[in-house]
Structure formats: structure tokens, C-alpha cells
Amino acid sequence: METDGALEPTIYPVLCAWGFTTGENRIPGQQELDQLLSHVGYEQAELKGNQLRLPKGMELDLGAVGKGYAGDLAAEILRKEGISSALLDIGGNIQAIGSRPDGTPWRLGIRSPFGEGYLGVLTVSDCVVVTSGNYERYFVGEDGNEYGHILDPETGRPVDNGLASVTIIAEEGKKGDALSTSLFVMGLPGAEEYWREHRDFEMIAVTEDGQIWMTEGIAPSFVLDEAFANMEQHVITGDQQ
């Protein structure tokens, strides 16, 4: 899956520098980031058969796809055992097998990135729903600013592009997991463009200024909670407006 570098599995040393892997958070200096970023870039790795060779200083972080992959494996096992209706929660990733036992779609609450509670309810069947945002894992620096755990691979700094969260609805967990992170990194314009080019998933993007952008295939299945009824809603269509 091509994401133009927005999904970068070799970002782990930079995550460590920010303390997101240990809980000992700090703000690294630009010189340190530049040095670490010189080791970032999956194209530097060598894959031969089933062997992967990483150059010195490079480390992998598969957190952006790990839960999705695990969910796919779990769903595959259940389907092989004849399970036709199930709802799996893999660390916040929701994997829906079929519909509810009574045949109606699943009703899933989409968490608000602005605090406690649900932004709205999504009605779906037989799919994966994954949300990414910097509102769960972050720290407040001595400068008073919030620093989230999703990093821009180009700068090595937390993503700050106006998006509060991105929810992906897809057929596979690993795809939903990867896209929720990479489209969050891309920002709203990049995410819209990526969806128009591929059209094999649906998306709900929430901006920090309180707007909701939904792709046309999922918009009819999402209902805002009354607490957020004043938020502006936009539908992303296949034709660029």
C-alpha cells in the first residue's frame, strides 16, 4: 500500500526520543531529530526472501498495523469455525463479522476527539472501523503545548495539521489501521485526494475547529450525537469540488 511516506515503519527511534515508548516524555532538539531522521526511510532496508536487513541505527515500529493484522487473523479463525456474527475489539480497533444476530447492522459509537463521550453512531456490517488521533497519547511540555504520539516522518515532530481524528471504514483491519494513521499524517486535503484516487475505503475526518468531513459512501450511515449537533458536516464526493 503506497502512502507517499506518510506511513513510515522505521520511525521508532524518533518515537523513543520523544519518550512515547517509555512514558518519560521530553522535547528533543532539532539537531537530535535531524540525526535520527537520517535513519528513517524504509527504502534503506533490504528485503531478500524472508530476511530483512536494517542498516545500523534503524529500528521498526509496526504499531500502525499490528492491531489490524491481529484482528484480521482473529476474524479469519472465527469465520473458519462457522461464526457469522461477532464484534471484536482489538485495542480500540473494531472488527465486525457480519451483522448482529438479528440481522440488523451493528451500531458503533465513534469517540469524540474533544473529550469524553461519543461523537456519533455509525451503522455498519462486516467491516473494520479504526480511529487515529493525537487526543489519547500525548503529553504537555514545559512550554504548555500538547505533543501527540503520531509523528510526521518528514519532520520528526508530532502531526499538527488541523485534524483532530480520522476514522477509517475498510474491509481489512491491516488496511484500516494503516490508513487511519497515514491519512491523519497527510491532513485533510491529502486524505481527500488519497480517497478519490483509491475509493476502496470510507473515511470520517474531524478537524480541530469542529468540522466533520465524511466520504459519500459512509455519510448516510453516520448520525451525530445531540451534544455535537452544531458541528458543520461536509460530504466528500468523488468529483473534486
In a domain, 133, yes or no: yes
241 pLDDT band (50/70/90 cuts)?
Answer: low
Q: Give the mean model confidence (pLDDT) for residues 132-159.
A: 93
In a domain, 55, yes or no: no
What's the rounded Cα separation, in Å, for the pair 7 and 10? 9
- Which pLDDT does position 68 carry in this prediction? 92
Those residues whose C-beta lies under 8 Å from the C-beta of residue 172, and which sit 6 or more positions away, are: 68, 72, 128
In this prediction the pTM is: 0.92
- Which pLDDT does position 155 carry in this prediction? 95
In a domain, 137, yes or no: yes
In this structure, what CATH number is given to the domain that contains residue 226? 3.10.520.10
**Residue 144 lies in domain:** 64-236
Q: Give the mean model confidence (pLDDT) for residues 25-53.
A: 90
- Which pLDDT does position 164 carry in this prediction? 96
Q: Work out how many domains the chain is built from and give that number.
A: 1
- Grid coordinates in use for 53? 536487513
Whole-angstrom CA distances from 226 to 118, 121, 146, 208 are 10, 11, 28, 19
Those residues whose C-beta lies under 8 Å from the C-beta of residue 222, and which sit 6 or more positions away, are: 110, 120, 121, 122, 123, 204, 214
In a domain, 1, yes or no: no
Q: Please provide the size of the chain in residues.
A: 241
In a domain, 56, yes or no: no
In a domain, 21, yes or no: no
- Grid coordinates in use for 20? 512515547
Q: Has residue 50 got a pLDDT over 70?
A: yes
> Cα-atom radius of gyration of the chain, to the nearest Å?
19
Q: Give the mean model confidence (pLDDT) for residues 14-43.
A: 92
